[in-house]
Chains A and B, each alone.
Chain A
Amino acid sequence: MTVFNFDRQPATPTMPAPPRADQIEIRVNADAAWLPSLRVVAADLATRADFDLDEVADLRMAVDQACAELVSAADSGAVLVCRFAMDRDRITVTATVPVSGPTAIPRDTFGWRVLTTLVDEVEVLDGADPSQGAGCMLCLRLGMLRQAAPR
């Protein structure tokens, strides 16, 4: 697992340029074995950003669910990229895997119900990614908005 903490480390030439501070990007093999690490990071970031503990637990489960769906759709040997962006009043999690062709995430499943119940915003982004050359990327973006007053 490589963890890029854009906030604290200066970018080296091999790293993609960080769009903003307050972002953490994790790259893992698209394998369910990495789900526990991803959800621990999600919970830790939300706790430290002072989301209330219901929101922390919900985000933890949502990241687990979203990444599990992506892992099962991913090409074999693919890399799952999970990016966490912290803003004043929200955490945005963007998880992306390469897929062999255009892949839809059905909305009439229990998994979708789980995602949309746990976080405030769920977005599916799919299509070709020009930066990756040919091939399709499947991406789930989750947005959790803060209910409690920020510290």
Chain B
Amino acid sequence: MTTEHHAEAAASGGSRRAEPNGYDELMSLFEEFAGLDENDTRRAVLRQRLVEGYLPVAQHIARRFAQRGEPLDDLEQVATLGLIGAIDRFEPTRGVDFLSYAVPTITGEVRRHFRDHGWGVRVPRRLKDLHLRLRTAMSQLSQQLGRAPTATELAGHLQLPREEIVEGLEVANAYRGTSLERLTDEESSGGFADVVGEADTELDRVEYREALQPLLSRLPERERTIIKLRFFGNMTQTQIADRVGISQMHVSRLLSQTLATLRDGLSRE
């Protein structure tokens, strides 16, 4: 059986029976690795051997995500980092074999990479270009109109059929990554302390502040600012986009994600 086949078996389920002898040997390394003291110099040696031993698994998972517009090198690197994380966190005493733990962990890491850095779904080049044109047009029209444009206004501005605009806007929602934002958005530094201050005053008045405040404080600063400006500072998404220096679409996405996070957090209280 080749290494490729080992990885195949691992990636498709990773049950103990399907594990070839090579991985059994690695399992015994694991028991030694997990038993060592944090500062034992032998840990680094064993860790290296474990990473090398399981590397085909990470590479196999990375290849499954190739052809989706991200370079294979990057995917392999992300998968390898996922593998290292899995090795460090794995507890052999729990009675679960390593691959059953590592395969979903590594796969999750690669998926997260797509969510954060790439297009969540494979989007034709034409729609990516349209997405960029839409965002530029939205910014220009917002300046002119003093509010966000409608689909018809965008169609008129870009001289495109309205249906194409609607399609392009749907793509914007399907696209969960941020690499385009990083290309075109430049965050402004500060300059909105005054409005945040007003939003804070408003936040202090609400009854559920005690439940919300610790959750807000755990958010990244930009997300926290956007939430405050929208829900306690009475600003529209377009106004926030202008203030924070990112696109309205980006504000919209950050707001939705952050609301979901807060909702989860509040329901656990």
Contacts and interface: CB of A to CB of B under 8 A. Distances in A.
B148 A52 contact: yes
Interface in A33-79: 40, 43-44, 47-48, 50-58, 60-61, 64-65, 68, 72
Interface stretch (B27-35, B102-110, B258-266): B258-266
Contacts of B206: 108, 110, 113
The A contact surface, by secondary structure, is: helix
B148 A50 contact: no
A76 B231 CA distance: 32
A55 B237 CA distance: 9
Contacts of A108: 206-208
Given A53-B169, A57-B252, A64-B256, A110 B147 contact: no
A57 B237 CA distance: 8
A40 B169 CA distance: 11
A88 interface: no
B123 interface: no
Interface string B219-253: 00000000000110010111000000000100010
Contact of B256 (A48, A50, A61, A113): A61
Contacts of A20: none
Nearest to A112: B208
Contact of A65 (B147, B248, B263): B263
B211 A110 contact: yes
A53 B138 contact: yes
A50 B152 contact: yes
B170 interface: yes
Contacts, number: 81
Interface in B198-212: 206-208, 211-212
B212 A110 contact: yes
Interface residues of A, number: 30
A53 B166 contact: no
Contacts of B151: 47-48, 50, 53
Contact of B150 (A50, A60, A110): A50
Contacts of A52: 147-150
22 contacts: A44-B166, A47-B169, A50-B150, A50-B152, A53-B149, A53-B169, A54-B237, A57-B248, A57-B252, A60-B256, A64-B259, A65-B263, A68-B263, A72-B267, A108-B208, A110-B211, A110-B212, A111-B266, A117-B234, A148-B145, A148-B147, A148-B153
Given A61-B255, A109-B208, A110-B266, 9 more contacts: A51-B150, A52-B149, A54-B238, A54-B248, A57-B237, A109-B266, A110-B208, A148-B150, A148-B153
Q: Lowest 4 CB-CB distances: which A-B pairs, in order?
A: A54-B148, A57-B252, A53-B148, A108-B207
